[in-house]
């Protein structure tokens, strides 16, 4: 296992050291609201901007963070790990 405290292993290695504060806020807003539209409203972004940024974040990390069930988004295992990292970062 790596000594880098910003590396997480699930079934794949996720390097969190490159995440920006904006990306962490985006992730937390989507999780809190369970809706891309509501997250966008909270962040003063359009739903399209949230969708594109979330897709870019998933592509950057190389993992799927959310699954859509009906109209609601639910975190995957990787999503829970990254979201926990994001929330711990806000409270330090």
Place of tokens 């399209």: 48
Query: CA nearest 86: which of 37, 7, 20?
Result: 20
Chain segment 22-66, per-residue pLDDT in tens: 998 999 999 999 899 999 999 999 999 999 999 999 999 989 999
| pTM for the full predicted model | 0.77
Instruction: Report the alpha-carbon distance of residue 65 to residue 81 in Å, rounded.
Output: 9
Residue 19 has a pLDDT of: 86
67, β-bridge pairs: 74
Domain residue ranges in the chain: 9-90
Chain segment 67-92, per-residue pLDDT in tens: 988 888 889 998 998 898 888 876 55
CATH number of 9-90: 1.10.10.10
List of residues 6+ apart from 46 with CB closer than 8 A: 40
CB neighbourhood size of 77 (10 A) = 12
Q: Which residue has the higher pLDDT, 7 or 20?
A: 20
Residue 2 has a pLDDT of: 41
CB contact at 8 A, 66 and 75: yes
């Amino acid at each position: 296992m790596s000594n880098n405290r910003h590396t997480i292993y699930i079934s794949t290695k996720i390097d969190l050291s490159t995440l920006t504060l904006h990306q962490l806020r985006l992730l937390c807003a989507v999780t809190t609201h369970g809706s891309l539209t509501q997250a966008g409203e909270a962040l003063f972004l359009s739903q399209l901007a949230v969708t594109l940024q979330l897709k870019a974040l998933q592509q950057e990390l190389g993992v799927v963070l959310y699954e859509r069930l009906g109209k609601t988004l639910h975190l995957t295992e990787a999503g829970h790990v990254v979201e926990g990292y994001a929330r711990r970062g806000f409270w330090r």
